[in-house]
Amino acid sequence: MMRGMLSRLNIRNLALVDSVSVSFQNGLNVITGETGAGKSLLIGALRLLLGERADKSMIRTGESSCGIEAIFELADPSDVNAALEAVGLPPCETGLLIIRRTITESSSKNLVNDSPVTLPVLKALGDVLVDMHGPYDHQSLLKTEAQMDILDAFGHLGEERAAYRSKYQNFQALEKRLQELSNLDNSGLAEQIDLLAWKVKEVSEAKISDEDETTVQQEHEQIANAQNILELAQTAAGRLTEGEVSAMDSLSAARKACTQLAKYMPDAEAWAQELEGAARTAQEISAAIQSAVEEISAGPERLQFLDERLALYRSFKRKYAPSVPEILIKLEEWKVRLKDLQSRDEQRAAVEAEHAAALIETEKAGRALRKKRQKVAGDLADAITTELRDLGFEHGLFEVQLLDLDEPHASGLDEIEFGFAPNAGESMRPLRAIASSGEISRVMLAVKAVLARHDRIPLLVFDEIDANVGGEIANAVGDKLAQVGQTHQVIAITHLPQVAVCGHSHFAVSKRVQDGRTFTQISPLEGSERTEEIARMLGGKDLTKVTLQHAKELLANRKG
């Protein structure tokens, strides 16, 4: 059952493409065309839609932007909806997913169902929508990481691998912490502890604060200017209550006059009362001034103390931080760090215990994963061997070898090696020892054919996977692609007529020159047009009755 399909791809102003719209079908869609016509531009456009970084040089000459749009029709959008939900986007309620990307010289605008998204979101969607295989991607088969991924995908071991990864990451974190705790030698540790302890003691015993600094500054200012303050205070007090013409005497005389004036003017009584209050106020202020002056008349010992206190504040600010609050923050940090260093031996012992327990848990999860892998390794080898025999290796054998590792690694407790014996009588060799790119390409197709029955990705894209093969092998490759096309939508760029005739749908890419400019176009082929394209692939541009007849026979045999 098809899980979905790419129903339409629209491209505007991308490289040699002016405007192209392609409606793909279910099954195997083959794309053909002369070298340089722009077949791979379609794959490039799809890669851009699925998160590949853009370059302004991709924009068609003379244009300010290029645009690409893909419309996916999904029978089962659950995986896509999960990817959308993970980034806070609404699901595809109807199964319709539209991805648009507009690239200008300075920016890139990406939309998924009209919601703006980032490139990582496009890549996450691409991971569940499309499996792309380019001309050089078969090299990934030679990497052990990719081989392990293939085995785990075939065996549906995602849960077991995730369980192992969680244990392994915890084990790695504890190992890193243990290394950190062991990095300092004893002498270095002792020096750090001594230095921090001295800083904590110095600042703590100083009992500094913003309020204390302000008080010290004010008192120091007063004592340093005590003589001037005393003179000013005496002047103020004298003018208020002492001296020949004091404010007190003047107010008393004025009050007495108002009391006598009250005999003739009733309002004068109130004036007398107010003047009496003013006289009391003057007397109180004078007393307060004299009292304050007495308090600041400290001796040289107090001034020396204040000098030393201010010098301490200046010293701390130079050494530790520009302000008292920042120094106090550092003090708390030193205390925490000091406690950490002083308890390093206890911490190391605790982490060592956790590390040992985490190793046991990691190895337990690794053994569980290994057991499952060992169960499916033979099945994967048999399945790929079967596919390879369909692809021309009649006596070929494929092997999946698992080797035990001495310690945990990111992918488990196992090391993997894909082995391959292409012909009868040949010994099994590591896949990476095979030099022929044609053989490697067919192995990749066999792997894809096996995994296609186990994965949920709706679209498989093959860009010239049939490179360096021909004859009967080309027929086998075409048959295999068509077979995969029974359960998945497949888009395959090919230069082989034997593969092209296997397509359920056939598109031809061509280019033309008009008014001095090059234009790439893509057209669906049916009937005589498809026959002529197959004939061109068989014999070149000059069509003959022989090549046309051969093309008809190839198509007829495939349809039959």
DSSP letters, 442-478, are: HHHHHHHHHHHTT---SEEEEESTTTT--HHHHHHHH
pLDDT at res. 296: 66
Are 51 and 123 in contact by the 8 Å Cβ rule? The answer is yes
Q: Which residue shows structure tokens 């200017």? A: 225
- Nearest by Cα to 161 from 510, 535, 412: 412
Radius of gyration of the chain (CA): 44
Q: Which long-range contacts (CB under 8 A, 24 or more apart) does 318-321 make?
A: 320/199, 320/203
* Joined tokens for residue 295: 């308090």
Burial class for 253, CB neighbours closer than 10 Å (0-12, 13-18, 19+): exposed
Read off the pLDDT band of 227 (50, 70, 90).
low
Burial class for 1, CB neighbours closer than 10 Å (0-12, 13-18, 19+): exposed
Q: pLDDT over 90 for what percent of the chain? A: 29
The separation between CA 106 and the C-alpha centre of its own chain, rounded to angstroms, equals 22
Side-by-side strand order, sheet with 397-409: 397-409, 412-421, 429-430
Instruction: Say whether pLDDT at 258 is over 90.
Output: no
pTM reported for the whole predicted model: 0.66
What's the number of CA atoms in the CB half-sphere (13 Å) around residue 148? 17
Q: What mean pLDDT is predicted for residues 215-232?
A: 76
Read off the pLDDT band of 449 (50, 70, 90).
confident
Read off the pLDDT band of 55 (50, 70, 90).
confident
b/e map of 54-72 (b: 16 or more CB within 10 Å)?
A: beeebbbeeeebbbbbbbb
pLDDT at res. 380: 94
CA dist., res. 490 & res. 507, Å (int): 13
Q: What mean pLDDT is predicted for residues 463-491?
A: 83
b/e map of 455-469 (b: 16 or more CB within 10 Å)?
A: bebbbbbbbbbbeeb
CA dist., res. 175 & res. 3, Å (int): 44
CA dist., res. 164 & res. 415, Å (int): 15
What value, to the nearest 5°, has the Cα angle with vertex 189 and ends 188 and 190?
Answer: 95
pLDDT at res. 160: 93
CA dist., res. 378 & res. 401, Å (int): 9
pLDDT in tens, 329-371: 999 999 988 887 777 777 788 888 999 999 999 999 999 999 9
pLDDT at res. 106: 82
The 10 Å Cβ neighbour count of residue 158 is: 10
List of residues 6+ apart from 79 with CB closer than 8 A: 128, 456
Tell me the three state secondary structure of residue 96: strand
Query: In Å, how far are 88, 170, 401, 454 from 412, measured between CA atoms?
Result: 33, 14, 14, 22
**H or E element at residue 287:** helix 268-296
**Beta-bridge partners for 19:** 12
Read off the pLDDT band of 474 (50, 70, 90).
confident
- Which of the residue ranges 289-298, 327-336, 493-502 would you say has the lowest mean pLDDT? 289-298
CA dist., res. 416 & res. 421, Å (int): 17
Read off the pLDDT band of 505 (50, 70, 90).
very high
Q: What mean pLDDT is predicted for residues 205-219?
A: 89
Q: What mean pLDDT is predicted for residues 271-296?
A: 80
Q: What mean pLDDT is predicted for residues 505-532?
A: 86
Domain boundaries, the chain: 1-135+438-525, 196-332, 526-560
pLDDT in tens, 399-420: 999 999 989 999 999 999 998 8
- Nearest by Cα to 43 from 526, 34, 52: 52
The residue with greater pLDDT, 557 or 163, is: 163
Instruction: Say whether pLDDT at 426 is over 90.
Output: no
Q: Which residue shows structure tokens 């290796």? A: 393
What's the number of CA atoms in the CB half-sphere (13 Å) around residue 247? 19
List of residues 6+ apart from 127 with CB closer than 8 A: 83
Read off the pLDDT band of 138 (50, 70, 90).
low
- CATH for 1-135+438-525 (3.40.50.300, 3.90.230.10, 1.20.58.480, 3.40.50.150): 3.40.50.300
- Nearest by Cα to 420 from 411, 410, 412, 430: 430
Q: pLDDT over 70 for what percent of the chain? A: 93
pLDDT in tens, 7-27: 999 989 888 788 889 999 999
The residue with greater pLDDT, 251 or 113, is: 113
pLDDT at res. 137: 65
The 10 Å Cβ neighbour count of residue 502 is: 27
Instruction: Say whether pLDDT at 104 is over 80.
Output: yes
The mean of the pLDDT values for the chain is 85
Read off the pLDDT band of 506 (50, 70, 90).
very high
- Which of the residue ranges 246-250, 270-274, 394-398 would you say has the lowest mean pLDDT? 246-250
Read off the pLDDT band of 29 (50, 70, 90).
very high
DSSP state of 59: B
Q: Which residue shows structure tokens 């499996």? A: 131
Q: Position 11: which residue type?
A: I
Tell me the three state secondary structure of residue 57: helix
Q: Position 33: which residue type?
A: G
CA dist., res. 86 & res. 321, Å (int): 44
pLDDT at res. 277: 85
Length of the chain: 560
**H or E element at residue 67:** strand 65-74
- Which of the residue ranges 194-208, 296-310, 376-390 would you say has the lowest mean pLDDT? 296-310
Instruction: Say whether pLDDT at 437 is over 70.
Output: no
**H or E element at residue 177:** helix 158-182
What value, to the nearest 5°, has the Cα angle with vertex 483 and ends 479 and 486?
Answer: 145
Burial class for 333, CB neighbours closer than 10 Å (0-12, 13-18, 19+): exposed
Query: In Å, how far are 154, 235, 260 from 370, measured between CA atoms?
Result: 14, 98, 117
The residue with greater pLDDT, 559 or 31, is: 31
pLDDT at res. 285: 84
pLDDT in tens, 64-91: 888 999 999 998 888 889 889 988 899 8
pLDDT in tens, 183-197: 655 556 778 888 889
Read off the pLDDT band of 560 (50, 70, 90).
very low
Are 9 and 16 in contact by the 8 Å Cβ rule? The answer is no
Are 391 and 446 in contact by the 8 Å Cβ rule? The answer is yes
Instruction: Say whether pLDDT at 164 is over 90.
Output: yes
